[in-house]
Structure 1
Amino acid sequence: MIKILFFLLPFSTMVAAGEPDTVLVKRVNLDEVTIVGFKQKKPNREPLSISTLDNRFLKENEILGAKDLSSLLPNFYMPDYGSKQNSPVYIRGIGAKKDAPSVGFYVDGIPHFETSAFDIDLSDISSVEVLRGPQGTLYGRNSIGGIINVYTHSPLDYQGTRFRLGYGSYNDIRLMASNYTKVNERLGLSFSGNYHHNDGFFTNLYTGKKADKLDNGSGRIGLVWKPANRWTTRFIASYEHLNQGGYPYGLYNADNGTTEAVNYNQEGLYRRNLLTSGANVRYDGSRISFNSQTSYQYIHDKMGI
């Protein structure tokens, strides 16, 4: 056996010597590549890294805001810089603290292009979907890091009335009420409202008041209409008012690694008025799919730091 192996090895090496090494050099001729996709395709049919959180998971884990997702989703981080105005998102380490975001944020297909509009109330939400990696082919700009899709309940699929009252330390009060009504097989209406109050955790020694108090109220209305079997039209409008004390910062002492108490003579604050509305028209045929999204968003905010 040993003699045979010695004779075979030089022979095989000699035959392969005249041929190019296909491990190092490999020629592939490609025709024109056309990327075809549809945003509403089922995620399990796409070669993507996706995390989907349904309504039951969101309720069981008390997910009430976008920043709460950081502790549950891998490769996802949404830091808290002192107020909802600073709400950058990092997916796989890719993100932007200011200017144009690197991660897209959509609610029922309506884009939120300002990071100050990312941190919204997520109570009574149908599901949250996070797509990791570049999504510019289907979503365009501001999606090199990934996409966050938030979906609300459709009254044609989900009906009922819900009330919720929560109370915690520091006078943390949460109120929520919603109603989803299916008028008939083709028409559904929905209404929801949320309120959140918190006295704050940090006391400003100069003023003697809490530096990070919070009052946040929002409302949303929706209408779903199916004029024909394959057509679905959806209208949605929401408004949110936020009055938040922000930036409870203290002077950091690098020598001993301690941070002093909050003590400044002007109020840190963030106030936001956010109006979002949109209309979606969709056709699902056996051979053709059509989707049209028209939206409008108005944001007026003020920051004091």
Structure 2
Amino acid sequence: MIMLSSLPIGLSLYPGETPASYWSRLCAVNAIAEKDLWLALRKRDRALPIRVTPRSALAYIELLGGLATGALLHDTGGLACGHGGATRQVECPTCRLIPPPVVLCKRCASGHRIVVARMHGPVCLRHRRWCSNPDDVDVIARPDHLAAQRVLNGPLAARGVHYRSPEVRAAAELLTLHSPGDGVEGVNEDEVRFFSRRVRLTALLTDSRLVNILMVPTVGTYALAMILDQIVTAHAMGHRAALGVLDGLQLQGRELRIGTCVVPIQGGRTLTPSAQRMLDRAKTIRAHLLHHRVEPVAR
């Protein structure tokens, strides 16, 4: 059992707050340098690394802050990665679902800088503000943005897809390839403007009905370009049209049925101009769309 006294001033833990964020706040509120406190911990436990590494001393930090045992581990992703630091997190089936740390909405954090590791998009639903970048934009008049953030918090979070994931980047690229003149690859103003379109398309592209087709290695580049083009086109027509395309996807032997259209899974065929632009990127986009964990269902 670790015997260690708490610091004079304890802090509550924000849901999903990273150990590094809590450690920094704890040191700041007690007016002690992070390096000095870490050296004091290393005198007690020589197994700790020389560099300040809060995730290596979770039990000590919990005692110093007066937290319950296991609070930091529970709020920063549950189970720890058994691979340690020798394996990249994207190769771990547990760690790859934990999104990269992001700064919490300043209004939710009472003006403090709180870094959290959880499924967290750029829109704060509580305050209805865009808070992903330095621009603090009011989105109360944009119900589609609020709905898109709920999709991020709900279905996409359950699939392990966060806002900065390869899947969302693939959706943004497909929108650009489908309509090059829209300028959906921009940042700041364009990112806010096209946020809901990207998220809604990502939800369609990570649907299990489509993913089951993408996971078949024999589906060729031309067939992939046709599928992706059909999905983006239907997405522009509305959610019901897009669901109709997903329902119509069916793999039968060497043929792929896309609604009423039947195409061979291998070989070339005539493509629309937008599908032709997607052709060279089809396999790369497929790899990005399969980044998240998917439970395969019967085809």
Name the TM tier (shorter chain): under 0.3
Q: Which has the higher strand share?
A: 1
Ranked by relative contact order (alpha carbons within 8 Å, sequence separation 6 or more), the top structure is 2
| TM-score for both structures, normalised by structure 1 | 0.24
TM-score relative to the length of structure 2:
0.24
Name whichever structure is richer in helix by fraction.
Answer: 2
